Homo-oligomer: A and B are copies of this chain.
Amino acid sequence: MEVLEKIRVTVDAMGSDNAPHNEILGSIEAASERKDLEIILVGRENEIRKVLEKQNYQLGNLSVVNADEVVTMEDNPSEAYKQKPNSSINIALNLQLENKADAFISAGNTGAVLASSTLKLGRIEGISRPTIGSMFPSEKGNVMLFDVGATVDCRANNLVEYALMGSVYSSYILGVENPKVGLLSVGEENTKGNELTLEAYELLSKSGLNFVGNVEGGDILKGKVDVVVCDGFVGNIILKFAESVLGLLKAKFRKLAESSLINKFKVGMAQSTLRQISKEFDYQYYGGVPLLGVNGVSIIGHGKSTPLAIKNMIFRAEETVRKRVNDRIKAVLKNRKINNNKNIK
């Protein structure tokens, strides 16, 4: 039997809206459930230890590394990298760089995690732009959308890289066989689209990936494909629009409930049923979204991450390391290079 080394995950303890509380609680849960993990909380040590003591938790596979500085949601991402060299994000990534950790999770400033991860860990050779993916529920299975905000002005080859990395993620982490890739556009025909997508369509057709063509905005939730690629501007807007839908429904429900007692009862019933079906839309269960294309593992979570979300992010980070997602990406890139060279000859 193969003896696996313990996978070491650093947790940005200062990231979430409710930091370090939720990070610590989530880490304790993860450490208790999975003794084969090593979890390293990175942040203001005094604050962290205070919470740990309150929880009366005996440190075993959970340790603390001090980081004096904290990146806030208001900090400019690239400035934070330089101006706060000792932030929990930077210190945690240093540990990965020094091979004292294998993966990193953060529910903090997404842009700062992206910038620091890219600058500290570097990019995978052959990838020009790292990407952040997001998971959407659908009528079939879960759909991954890349990019949701890492790069707002993309080139066509960036979209091909997203498709490639997204396919690897979908296949190895989500277990989808030969994932179908769609290019987000304004019509199914290959003549429909903007300058960027028309060019990307050509490149994707020759990419060797399971590219099925253009998909429209309505096809994401229909689950027509497993991986959808678009530039980070469009992806970010779709993601935030999607996150706001339940808010609108709740507001409308509230208004209806106020109109009469019977409506109040009906709304109560409806909301409970809606909660039942929307459980699987809940980011808490996804365990964050991956930042792909960097030479290491960074998992990004929602600012509102609960302890459960943090725990699942840790597990997702571990899985990304264990399933060697980056090696798979490198292998596909290498194969493509060989094939491209063959074609040139």
Task: Name A's B-contacting residues (CB within 8 A).
Answer: 137-139, 149, 152-153, 184-186, 193-195, 197, 216-222, 230-234, 236-245, 247-249, 251-253, 255-256, 266-267, 269-270, 272-274, 276-278
* Complex interface: chain B residues within 8 A of A149 (CB): 186
> CA A238 – CA B240 in complex, angstroms?
11
For the complex of A and B, 8 pairs with smallest distance between CB atoms: A217-B240, A217-B237, A270-B273, A217-B241, A218-B244, A218-B240, A252-B277, A270-B270
Interface centre among A231, A269, A277, by most B CB within 10 Å?
A: A277
* Complex interface: chain B residues within 8 A of A197 (CB): 233
> CA A251 – CA B138 in complex, angstroms?
9
Copies of this chain: 2
> CA A139 – CA B250 in complex, angstroms?
9
* Complex interface: chain B residues within 8 A of A217 (CB): 236-244
* Complex interface: chain B residues within 8 A of A274 (CB): 249, 270, 274
Assuming the contacts A221-B241, A232-B186, A241-B217, asked whether A139 and B247 have C-beta atoms less than 8 A apart, the reply is: yes
Question: In whole Å, how far is A99's beta carbon from the nearest beta carbon of chain B?
Answer: 35
* Complex interface: chain B residues within 8 A of A138 (CB): 248
Interface centre among A194, A267, A278, by most B CB within 10 Å?
A: A194
> CA A226 – CA B247 in complex, angstroms?
18
**Cβ-defined contact, A242 with B241, below 8 A:** yes
Residue of B nearest to A192 (CB): B152
Question: In whole Å, how far is A224's beta carbon from the nearest beta carbon of chain B?
Answer: 10
Q: Could you give 13 example pairs across A and B, Cβ below 8 Å? A: A138-B248, A139-B247, A149-B186, A152-B186, A186-B233, A218-B247, A222-B248, A238-B241, A245-B245, A252-B277, A269-B269, A269-B270, A270-B274
* Complex interface: chain B residues within 8 A of A195 (CB): 153
Residue of B nearest to A259 (CB): B276
**Cβ-defined contact, A256 with B276, below 8 A:** yes
Question: In whole Å, how far is A311's beta carbon from the nearest beta carbon of chain B?
Answer: 25
Question: In whole Å, how far is A131's beta carbon from the nearest beta carbon of chain B?
Answer: 14
* Complex interface: chain B residues within 8 A of A272 (CB): 266
**Cβ-defined contact, A221 with B193, below 8 A:** no
**Cβ-defined contact, A245 with B221, below 8 A:** yes
> CA A194 – CA B219 in complex, angstroms?
25
**Cβ-defined contact, A273 with B248, below 8 A:** no
Assuming the contacts A277-B252, A277-B256, asked whether A221 and B247 have C-beta atoms less than 8 A apart, the reply is: yes
Interface centre among A241, A245, A256, by most B CB within 10 Å?
A: A241
Assuming the contacts A269-B266, A276-B256, A277-B253, asked whether A222 and B238 have C-beta atoms less than 8 A apart, the reply is: no
**Cβ-defined contact, A267 with B256, below 8 A:** no
**Cβ-defined contact, B266 with A243, below 8 A:** no
> CA A274 – CA B245 in complex, angstroms?
13
**Cβ-defined contact, B247 with A222, below 8 A:** yes
* Complex interface: chain B residues within 8 A of A238 (CB): 217, 237-238, 241
12 new A-B contacts at CB < 8 Å, known A217-B238, A218-B247, A222-B247? A137-B252, A139-B247, A139-B252, A152-B186, A184-B237, A218-B241, A218-B243, A238-B241, A245-B245, A267-B273, A270-B270, A270-B273
Question: In whole Å, how far is A266's beta carbon from the nearest beta carbon of chain B?
Answer: 5
> CA A255 – CA B222 in complex, angstroms?
14
